[in-house]
Every structure is written in C-alpha cells, then in structure tokens.
Structure 1
Amino acid sequence: MAGGEIWVLPAFGQGHLFPCIELCKLVTSRNRKATLVVSSILSSSVPSTFHDHPLTDVIVVPADPPRGGSDGIQLHMERGKAQLADFLKELLTARLGSSTWPVCAVLDVLVISGWAAEVFDKFGVRTVGFFTSGGCSAAMDLAAWKGSPLDIEPGETRLLPGLPEEMGLTVSDLKRRTSVARLRKWGQQQGHGAGSDTGPGSSRPLGLGGPPRMPGEKPYWVDPTESSIALVINTCHDLEGPFLDYLANQVGKPVWGVGPLLPDQYWMSSGSLVRDREIRPSKQSNVTEEDVIRWLDSKPRGSVIYVSFGSSVGLTTEEYDTLAKALEGSAWPFIWAIQPGSGGSREGYYPNGLEAKVRERALIITGWAPQLLILSHSSTGGFLSHCGWNSTVEALGRGVPFLAWPIRGDQFYNAKLVAHHLKVGYRVSDDDLVMVKKEEIVKGIDKLMSDEEVKERAAKVSGMFQGGFPASAVADLDAFINFLT
C-alpha cells in the first residue's frame, strides 16, 4: 500500500507528549516521516521547531477543554477518546491509498486500550505499543501478575523468576497502592468522588477509568497490546537491560529500548548547564532561569537538595505540611518546586512562613521550574522526587542521587530500581502503608547528602550518558526502523 509515515499518538499529559515528540525526531533522523497526532489541548506545548522540520507533521485533534466539577476530568478523558476515535476514522478514510498513509501507528499504551488499536486494526495499519515509562515498571508488573505472589508473608521477599534478586517483592510492594483512606482524601480535595481512580493512591493511570488495579493483577497494557507487532520503551539496555530482556521473552515479540527520550540539548550539554527555555515552552513562574542560576551559584558544590513531585501528581495537604517542617528542620539548602493545584486545592499549596524561617537556605518556586537546569548545576547534590520516569532519567543522566517518595503507578517500581538495583539513592520510607514522618524525611536528606558512595555510584551511572544518546538505544532504533521496512 502507498505511504510510509510513522504516526505517533501520545496520551494526555506533557509527561507523555514530550517523549513522543523526541521519538518522532529520532524517526526523522532515519529519513522517515513522523506524524504526531495530538489533542488540541496539548498542541500549544509542541515546540515551533518541531512544526518547522521537513519530515515532521502535526495532526491536531479538536477537543473540548476540561470542565470543572466532580466529574470534569474523567468526563473530559472519556469524551476525548470518543472524539479522537471518530477523528481518526474520518482521517484514515480520507487518506486511503495516498502517500500520507501510515505504515505504522506507535500508540502510547495509555491510549492503545481498546478503541485506538481497534481503529487502526480496522484499516489494516500495524500498531506498536509505546511505553513512555521505563522497562522496570512494565517488567515488574508483568512478573508480579505471572507469579501471583499475593500470599507473601510479612518479612518475606519473593523473588521473581527472570528478574534481578534485589527486585524481589515484599508485602509493602503488594499493598502499597491499596491505601483507600489516602485516595479518598485526595479525591475529596480535588472534588472527585471517593471512588475516583485519578488520584495518587491509584495504580491506574490518570483518566483510564475503572477500579484501581492492585499489584499482582493483570497489567492494564497486556490485552490492548496483544495485536501490536512490537513494543517500544523509553529506556535503553545500558540502563535497564534485564527488564527489557525479560519483557521480550515473555511477550514473544520484539521489545526495543529507544531512550531515554530527552531533548537533543540534553545530550549535547554534558558537563554544562541545560537551559530549559531553549527546549520547552516556558510557563508561568515566580522566578526566571537567571534567578535560579544566581541562587545556585551562591551555594557550595553538591549542597542543594532539589524537591519536586512533577507536574501531574502531588502530596496531600498534610503531607506537604510535614515536608515543609522537615525542610525547615534540615540543615541543607533546598529548591522546592510547587505546582499549581498542589495539595488538592485550586490555589495550590504554599508553605507560608517557611522562607522567613530558613532565609537564604531556600528557593521556593511556584509554577514552572527549570528542572533540567537545576539538575545539571554543580551545586545540586540530591533530588527528593516522586520518581516519575522523565524526572528519573533526567537526574540519572546528570549523576544526581535520589531520595524517592513515590506516589502512584510506575513510580513505586522506579523508586525500587533507583534504590535497590542501581543503588543511587534511598526511599524516604520503607513502608508505603503509613504516613511519612518528618523525622524520616530529615534523616533521609541527611543520609543522602552525606553519602559519598551513593554519589559515586550516581556519577558512574551518568557516565553511560556522557557520550550522548546511548549506543544501545541507537542500535534498537535502527532495528525498529528496519523491522518496519
């Protein structure tokens, strides 16, 4: 059939959009046309340079903006799926037999579920499942389901055949996402019903609907990717080789690690500052990049701990209060990035009075924070993070060790990867079933920032990034493109 474009469909959210943009750019580097199919709600976040490339195209799917209210987010997600499905059917019908027909559709596994795969299957377009998260979380979910280790006793570690011993499951691993009280509290603060699965206590991705899945249950991506010809994952064999090999053996189809999918400037700026404003559209913030650089320049090398929970997840108000008290009680200087809407309120959380108490030891950023810049500055010595995959690989590539505070989904396994497999950090608490205490946070910060061995291991891991985009990812990218042709 005519055509040869590779279409890429991200899920909702910038954490899914940005890796998809980078994947498109990699496809064009092999002289293949890449078309990004994106909701109009996310289209403004696509850089102008992407539009200008001769081998990239952007198809914008009209979508209604999300409503407020108790069911606003969930209704928006469901309507967005229906709009996208109808739009794709009309688009594919109009392009039948043309030079713009897709040879393959790379579907984020969060949109591949049901309708998306069915639409492309109906038109005879091959699909590839795309994980914007890493290989460890997918492999651990699959192994936990296949092994059905739901009878683990307290104090026991259950090894998972085919995976590293240090990644064995514990009772905490299995029960960590069943904290109904925490989920209900978050849902009430957000205006959702008590049974909402869109909060940080859920193991299901934001907006997928249905009851939360517990560890040990069938992973949500298994059935939808059944018809996919391959899986592509935002990682590389250098970083997560055992997990990619496990997945390939289990699913019986090619599994390629073509990441980490970070901007070109990230790979070209080894040893120097990465300027976020040159890479991603700037958003509203109370500081400029110059403000951040001046503040970091005033601090000793490796002395600053950076605190951020990403753009789409967050703590409860009580947890934010505990964190504020811990940062006050710690002796280390810190940058704390707080997103709008954090703490479950429209206004967002703010630690009133904290700056006056700690003075020049704190830089509190409300709104957009230049994370790549912060992580690449020599004064940054630690990262208190939720361990979202984008944040995880950004810090790994710059040799910044972690104090992991996972909140939902793949973040728990990312934290386990960081603390147990790569050994480049610690968990803020070993028990996910209880509220984290102030003393644990203070102790964790001190332990992380004073541990030279952890810093050395983090620097060693970052070494695989110093030569630019990992060689193993280049090899898998070529294998992926060759497979399609």
Structure 2
Amino acid sequence: MSPASPARPEILVVPFFGQGHLLPCMELCKHIAARNLRATLVISSNLSSSVPSSLRHHHPLLQIAELPYSPIPPAEPGFDPMEAHWAHHFQMASGLEDMLAPQPEGPTPVGPVCAVLDVMMGWTDEIFDKYQIPTVLFFTSGACSSAMELAVRKAEVKDLKPGETYQLPGLPEDMALTASDLKRRPQTHAAAPPQWWQQRASESGIWTPRPIARLLHTCAELEGVFLDYLARRSRRRSSKPVWGVGPLLPEQYWKSAGSLLHDREIRSNRQSSVNEDEVIQWLDSKPRGSVLYVSFGSEVGPTAEEYPQLAAALEASARPFVWAIQYGAGRSPDSESDRGYFPHGLDKKAGERGLIIHGWAPQLLILSHPSTGGFLSHCGWNSTVEAIGRGVPFLTWPIRGDQYHNAKFVVDYLKIGHPVSEDMSRDVTRDDIGNGIERLMTDEGARERAARIRTTFERGFPASSVAALDEFTNFIVSKTAAPS
C-alpha cells in the first residue's frame, strides 16, 4: 500500500456468510477501490479460503480484515447444527467490537467513513452506531425481489382463488399476484434463523435499520421500474438514496461477451469430479442450444424425496444435460452423515447424453457456451443475472426467500422461462420436471427474448451502475467530511 493511501477515506464492507453474499461484496470492494477510496472486506477468518488470492493483490487500496473465529465445540445429542451457524454471528460481533474499539495506547487511528452491511448483517448496525460510523445497507438480491417484498407486505394478501389476480400498486401489471404465487413450501428450520437470533436481530435494527443509503446488486437497464419503486418508497419514508450498483459480477464477465468465460481464471477452484477442459470437450460435442444445465445453490436445493424425481426426469428426457450436484445435496439437517444424494447409475443410463458433475461446476463457462440452451435453477440472484447476461432461458425451481420473486421476475416480467410447477407448496414430481423441460427447450419465443436481453449485458458493466457508484462514493465522502 502506498504511503498516501492511509489518508484516503475507508469504507468497510461486511458480507453475510455464503457464496451468494460474499462474491458480490468482493466485487463491490473492487469498484470502491477503483474510485480512490480504501475498501476493506471484513470477514470471519474461517472464510479466508473462500477469498481468491487474486483479490488480495487486485488493488493497493483493497484490503481484507479477518476477524478471529473459534470452531464451535462438538455438540451434545439433539443439538441443532444451525445453532452453531447462527452463534457464529455473535463471534463476528465480538470481533467487530475489538476491531473498532480505540486502543488504550498509541494515536487514535482515523476510523472508516462508513460500513456497507449486507442486509443479512444489518443487525450489526448497533455496533457501528456505537462508534458513530454511518452504515449503508447492501441488498445482494435484485430490486424486483425487494420491491415485491415491500408491496406484498403492505398489501397483506392472504389468499387468492384459482384464476384470480391481485395488482400490487406501483408495480407492473405483469407482477400481479396469482394463486400459485402464494403457494410456497413451508420454510424448514434449517433455512430460518432460530428464535433467539431473530429477537436479537430485531432489537439490533435489522428490520428497522438506520442506514444513510441503500445499494442493490442490480442495474437500471435490467430492473429500472423496480429501482424507481424503491426510490419512491424511500423518498416518502426517509429521503435516503437508493442505488443500483450491479450486477456485481467479475470484471472478466463484462469483457467476454460472445466468448467462453473460464471460472478457473476468476474464482477459487473447489473440489470437483471434472475439470474445465472435460466440460468444454463435452459441451463442444453437443448441438447449439441443446443442453439443459441443472444446478442449485451451494446452500439450498430440492428435498431428499425430490432428487430421485429429478434423476428420473432427466433419464426419461431425450435432452442432453449437465447436472451439477453439490456434495451433501439432499442431506437432512438432522442427519449425522455428510453423505448426500447422488444419482448412481444415471451416468450409464444417460450415456454421452448426460454429464454429471459432483461438487464444484464451472457455471460461468457452462452458461457462456453456445451449446447451453436452458437452465434449471433455484433462481438465486447471482445465478439469475449470470444466466440473463448470457441469454440462457430458465426452468425455475425456487426454494426459499427472494428466489420466488426472482423466478416470477424471470417468468412473468422478462418472459424468458417457465416454472417447474404451478404449486410449489408440494414436492415437485418427475412429470412436473419432464413437462417443464420440454416447455422450456421448445420455447423459441423465450430463447429469442433472452437473446435480446443479453445485448444489454454485452455493452460491458452497465452505465447506470457506473454513475450510481460514482454518486454513492461522492455521497459518502461529502456526507462524512469533517466541517471546515
């Protein structure tokens, strides 16, 4: 770091745990550092291996602060493993306190001008408030999901009859609620914070935060109408600015339109049953637009009962497919075994028609390959924008949270996909999946619309987000500058 760099204003970025949160926060740090501000990514030390070594050398103004992490001791019988996950929050809170507290000896360092908090870490706002550090709330999901969440909460829609719709005020007609939109599977305990954490988070302000601004992982070119809705709501309630500063995808993503994108050059390689060269060779052997890519998130996926249904549907289909299966997929939260589901025998039954990847899959490579013609996805926001930017239509299978709104955005607003089932309150069946695959892979209209939307991303990182990041950093510097 250059001698002059410590004098530059510093912005802390505090991600939530999980790749879907960590990846956009790392990219946000790069954009902040590129604007001559110090950007510090604050992570728990156990996440260090998830941060590529290239990030540490990306820019002299970008640094990583690791907070101490102590593994939770082996639990007693009956202990819920999710308790350890959420207890990790309080370890991080203690680490933040130690990092921010003035040292008893030596000169008082110049503190950060603000902290950008992942919305799931919004409960740490009280810690930063204690040290008079302004906070900015960062939504790692899209504007549509945030707008829908606000609108649905305000409307208090409880039930709709089949064929009945409810138009949400201020949002496009295409986003009117239907009976199927209200049918969601019950949230499992593993997907939800325990009650004690929810109470602490509520007391700390995650539901009523005190941010001076809000950032979203999207752009006006893609979600302008929803960003406008959120901005109007913010003006009425608090007059705090709302900016779309994404999609926060790797720099190589924006420079590789029309060519293959190699994950190994961007993200830390993880354990996998295949390498990228094998994936390319297999995809090269398939006709253009013929392959269905099947992948769920690193933390969510179908139930243990649904995985065999998916395997049966892929076996029965005539379509070529790539199926990426995470280690531990389909494992019950109460299971003591780390072993998850794997479709043993499907590789032989499908033959050259199928490629099954156990572990990490080079998703950016697969989505950018011309043979890929469809994406069966849980609709996590990172996966959603990665596929939209490469013109790949969807078969949507949301599991929880914002994924339902992302799926509706893809299906009803962009019209570049189909739902795997109209009733997501029950288990998805082999017939649901098989019929959905055929609807998707034969829908030329969805493919053409996806190709048109792709052109927006081919121009490079969105101009609206470049302007928004400039406005945001200028706002922070002016808002926190000492009076003359």
Q: TM-score, normalised by structure 1?
A: 0.89
Distance 1:412 1:297 in 2: 33
1:32-47 alignment runs, 5 A limit: 32-47=37-52
1:163-242 alignment runs, 5 A limit: 163-177=171-185, 179=186, 183=188, 196=189, 198-199=190-191, 204=192, 208-210=193-195, 224=207, 226-242=209-225
8 Å contact 2:293–2:375 — kept in the other structure? yes
Structure 2 equivalent of residue 148 of structure 1: 156
Which residue of 357, 365, 387 corresponds with 1:365? 357
Which residue of 450, 453, 458 corresponds with 2:442? 450
Distance 1:476 1:80 in 2: 33
- C-alpha displacement of 1:166: 1.1
Which residue of 132, 146, 157 corresponds with 1:138? 146
- C-alpha displacement of 1:434: 2.2
8 Å contact 1:382–1:400 — kept in the other structure? yes
CA offset digits 1:102-161 (Å, max 9, x no partner): 101000010112xx1000011110000001111111111111111112243443211110
SS of the aligned residue for 1:243 comes to helix
Which residue of 48, 53, 62 corresponds with 1:56? 62
1:325-474 alignment runs, 5 A limit: 325-344=312-331, 346-474=338-466
Distance 1:321 1:440 in 2: 13
Distance 1:95 1:257 in 2: 37
Which residue of 117, 131, 134 corresponds with 1:123? 131
Structure 2 equivalent of residue 20 of structure 1: 25
8 Å contact 1:323–1:438 — kept in the other structure? yes
Which residue of 242, 261, 274 corresponds with 2:261? 274
SS of the aligned residue for 2:470 comes to helix
Gaps of 5+ in 1: 184-195, 214-218
- Indicate the percent of aligned positions where both proteins have the same amino acid: 56
SS of the aligned residue for 1:342 comes to coil
Gaps of 5+ in 2: 1-6, 333-337, 478-484
Counterpart residue type for residue 334 of structure 1 = F
SS of the aligned residue for 2:127 comes to helix
- C-alpha displacement of 1:274: 0.6
1:62-81 alignment runs, 5 A limit: 62-65=68-71, 71=79, 73-81=81-89
SS of the aligned residue for 1:344 comes to coil
SS of the aligned residue for 2:120 comes to coil
- C-alpha displacement of 1:171: 3.0
Structure 2 equivalent of residue 292 of structure 1: 279
- C-alpha displacement of 1:79: 2.7
- C-alpha displacement of 1:441: 1.1
8 Å contact 1:109–1:221 — kept in the other structure? no
1:390 and 1:3, CA in 2 relative to 1: closer, same or farther beyond 3 A? same
Distance 1:93 1:225 in 2: 25
1:99 and 1:224, CA in 2 relative to 1: closer, same or farther beyond 3 A? farther
8 Å contact 2:167–2:177 — kept in the other structure? yes
Which residue of 208, 222, 228 corresponds with 1:245? 228
Structure 1 equivalent of residue 10 of structure 2: 5
Runs of 4+ residues over 6 Å off in structure 1:
219-222
Distance 2:207 2:41 in 1: 21
Counterpart residue type for residue 422 of structure 1 = L
8 Å contact 1:157–1:170 — kept in the other structure? yes
8 Å contact 2:8–2:36 — kept in the other structure? no
Structure 2 equivalent of residue 192 of structure 1: none
Distance 1:421 1:66 in 2: 44
8 Å contact 1:129–1:225 — kept in the other structure? no
Which residue of 115, 122, 135 corresponds with 1:105? 115
Counterpart residue type for residue 260 of structure 1 = P
Distance 1:81 1:247 in 2: 29
- C-alpha displacement of 1:95: 6.7
For the aligned residues, what is the CA RMSD? 2.2
Distance 1:274 1:455 in 2: 20
- C-alpha displacement of 1:72: 5.1
1:431 and 1:344, CA in 2 relative to 1: closer, same or farther beyond 3 A? same
Counterpart residue type for residue 396 of structure 2 = A
**The 10-residue stretch of structure 1 (222-231 or 240-249) with the greater mean CA deviation from structure 2:** 222-231
8 Å contact 1:322–1:437 — kept in the other structure? yes
Distance 2:450 2:393 in 1: 6
Distance 2:15 2:324 in 1: 26
**The 10-residue stretch of structure 1 (73-82 or 28-37) with the greater mean CA deviation from structure 2:** 73-82
SS of the aligned residue for 2:449 comes to helix
Distance 1:209 1:479 in 2: 38
8 Å contact 2:374–2:395 — kept in the other structure? yes
Counterpart residue type for residue 329 of structure 2 = S
- C-alpha displacement of 1:68: 6.6
1:20 and 1:95, CA in 2 relative to 1: closer, same or farther beyond 3 A? farther
8 Å contact 2:122–2:209 — kept in the other structure? no
Structure 2 equivalent of residue 258 of structure 1: 245
8 Å contact 1:13–1:42 — kept in the other structure? no
- C-alpha displacement of 1:51: 1.2
Q: TM-score, normalised by structure 2?
A: 0.89
8 Å contact 1:300–1:379 — kept in the other structure? yes
**The 10-residue stretch of structure 1 (91-100 or 329-338) with the greater mean CA deviation from structure 2:** 91-100
